[in-house]
A and B are shown apart, each in its own frame.
Chain A
Amino acid sequence: MTVAIIDYGSGNLHSAAKAFERAARSMEDPQAIKVTRDPDAVYRADRIVLPGVGAFADCRRGVDAVDGMLEALTEAVRVKARPFFGICVGMQLMATRGKEHVITEGFNWIGGDVEKIEPRDESLKVPHMGWNTLDMVREHPVLERLPLGPKGRHAYFVHSYHLNAANEADVLARADYGGPVTAIVAKDTAIGTQFHPEKSQRFGLALISNFLKWKP
């Protein structure tokens, strides 16, 4: 089994790879974590991870700049139904459009736009930077045994935009930051988190383990 972490020039790749390696090590059937910018390797992988930090349009350009990557990714996830994990902007790219500075097309796997968060409470700062709890919207295998809710564990967020999903059914969890912030989305064999599981200590590693075990 191989897990491809897509390298398209986005930072933070190292941390994501290390977190997936750590989670994979503690599993019964080992999965090889492979950082790659080879579309063939992505196409052949059993699971795919798309990290992303920075601006939506920049990340989209990064994916497009690797010849054949978008086609391989789309084919693997949407046709071959391989499990997919988008992190932060990697998750936002699953949306129809991004509206950060300019309007940019997303992959349109999940209907909705990526919009600026606007906390109602004026004392709350943007970016939403730090630890927040998650409220479950619907159950899903990747959330199994994770303590959510106001007294549950925390996830680490660093972002100013979030995916405002058109269909409630695509949202697994939200955070509250002067209003609802989309935290986890899921559709078919793809999931995405706005927060950084690779920076969310034990909670993040548990979520990654659940993803690696998930057989949709």
Chain B
Amino acid sequence: MFKVRVIPCLDVKDGRVVKGVNFVDLRDAGDPVEAAIAYDAAGADELTFLDITATHENRGIILDVVRRTAEACFMPLTVGGGVRTVDDIKTLLRSGADKVSINSAAVSRREFVKEAAEKYGEQCIVVAIDAKRVKRAGGSDRWEIFTHGGRNATGIDAIEYAQEVVSLGAGEILLTSMDRDGTRQGFDLPLTRAIADSVPVPVIASGGVGNLDHLVDGVREGHATGVLAASIFHFGEFTIRQAKDHMVRAGLPMRLDP
């Protein structure tokens, strides 16, 4: 039976985990490779690295992190952040990433998604969508795409955008609600559901997880095929296993392999 995925996400800056990971005794809580090994052992279904390195000179560091992770962890790895060219994708895949997530580069140039999917296959191209609810005078609310961590509005409708990138070859959507991100109030379920129901590819819900019921809601109400969370796992509040056990109790199909 096909299972729901639980995906921890690590923000990596200059080769270091931002704020560290403290759920297990690590020699170095800031080393993304150590954190990846711990999540692998804990039964995470996939792992996502988001590279938030700002300076161009340090951008190559993530490749070494990916390479060392792929040497130690035999689990699926998605890497995103600063992916702008087909060459960026190539070097990440060659280093050991299984999927590459594209964000702003797809907003500014949609054809990039098509070029990437044609070259490397739709299955490894994830488009990350950061969406925010926008009030429209005289009309109903809608969700629009924001870039640069939610700072830049684009005026692009999130549902139309999701459909467009999927038609160009995105094999998965990583959907983050900028309204919920960091709030611990749960996923934006209407947003998640609206996107998940309008595209044929898997949608991963992200942004706002504060408790384990939120994970269940993301799948049940939001129709996501996977759920992504960061802080509830990184700081030892809940283990991956606790999350999965909770989801099993709620009736969701989960992978509990030892």
Q: Beta-carbon contacts of B1-42 to A below 8 Å, as 1s and 0s?
A: 111110000000000000000000000000000000000100
- Contact in complex: A160, B74 (CB < 8 Å): no
Residues of A within 8 A of B172 (CB): 127, 129
Cβ-defined partner of B124 (8 Å) among A15, A53, A153, A204: A53
Q: Is B81 an interface residue (CB 8 A)?
A: no
Q: In the complex, A159→B123 CA distance in Å?
A: 6
A-B CB pair tally, cutoff 8 Å: 114
Q: Beta-carbon contacts of A120-133 to B below 8 Å, as 1s and 0s?
A: 00011111111111
Q: Is B93 an interface residue (CB 8 A)?
A: yes
Residues of B within 8 A of A188 (CB): none
Nearest residue, chain B, Cβ from A181: B2
Q: Which of B94-102, B129-137, B143-151 contacts A (4 or more CB under 8 A)?
A: B94-102
In the assembled complex, the CB of B33 is this many whole angstroms from the nearest CB of chain A, namely 13
- Contact in complex: B202, A199 (CB < 8 Å): no
Q: In the complex, A154→B94 CA distance in Å?
A: 25
Q: Is B201 an interface residue (CB 8 A)?
A: yes
Residues of A within 8 A of B123 (CB): 53, 127, 129, 158-160
Nearest residue, chain B, Cβ from A53: B121
Residues of A within 8 A of B94 (CB): 11, 13-14
Nearest residue, chain B, Cβ from A88: B123
Q: Is A12 an interface residue (CB 8 A)?
A: yes
Interface residues in B105-153 (C-beta closer than 8 Å to A): 118-124
Q: Is A107 an interface residue (CB 8 A)?
A: no
**Quick one: which of B70, B90, B95, B203 has the most chain A CB within 10 A?**
B70
B residues apposed to A, CB below 8 Å: 1-5, 40, 45, 67, 70-71, 74-76, 90, 93-96, 98-99, 118-124, 171-172, 200-203, 223, 225-226, 255, 257-258
What are 8 A-to-B residue pairs whose CB atoms are below 8 Å?
A12-B98, A13-B94, A15-B70, A15-B74, A54-B119, A125-B203, A158-B123, A176-B2
